[in-house]
Amino acid sequence: MKRKLRYAIYCRVSMEDKQTNENQRPPLIKYAKQNKWDYKVFQETESSRKIRPVKEELLKKLWAREFDGLLIYKLDRWARTVKEHVLEIQELVESGIHFVSLKDNVDLTTSSGKLQFHILGAFSEFEREQIRERTLDGLERAKRQGKSLGRPTGSEDSKPRKTEGYFKREANKRQKVRRVK
């Protein structure tokens, strides 16, 4: 008897208070059920460009072969740069992990899926760079107009800042330094 494939489902939003995984999770679960996969959902609800603790945990589980595959909603939910896409996903695929991007219709077991993956990754990075350039242009315009940028001196946030991300980043930095030494 053939065993069911076990898939990790990864959902990510950048800001918990402004976005929700509810647009991603239901169609991913439906797809996994249609394919008769066992699955576990991993949800990143607040991330930054460099820190994504849920993704890091998931990658460790994938490397340990706890899952046969990875199912994501769109490529831009997994990685933000072409380099990140190519390196991480190529390593996963080469180690035998199946990779499916639902909305992008990418199946990396085919040559056309691999080509589409690289093209979509390039467009994702292009879009991110466009947003960055527009933001920098807006900041430059505001400076020229004499506007004060950033938080006013002496102001405080209206909500308390989370500290667990800071502590995790610092611990990771110390760990990397120890490995190098």
Listing DSSP states for 90-102 in one string gives HHHHHTT-EEEET
Strand-pair category, 98-101 with 106-107: antiparallel
- Is residue 40 within 8 Å of 9, Cβ to Cβ? yes
Active site residues: 14
* CB atoms closer than 10 angstroms to residue 44: 21
**d(C-alpha 168, C-alpha 55), whole Å:** 14
Find residue 12's DSSP bridge partners. Answer: 44
**Residue tagged 């380099």 (tokens):** 83
| DSSP-derived 3-state class of residue 145 | coil
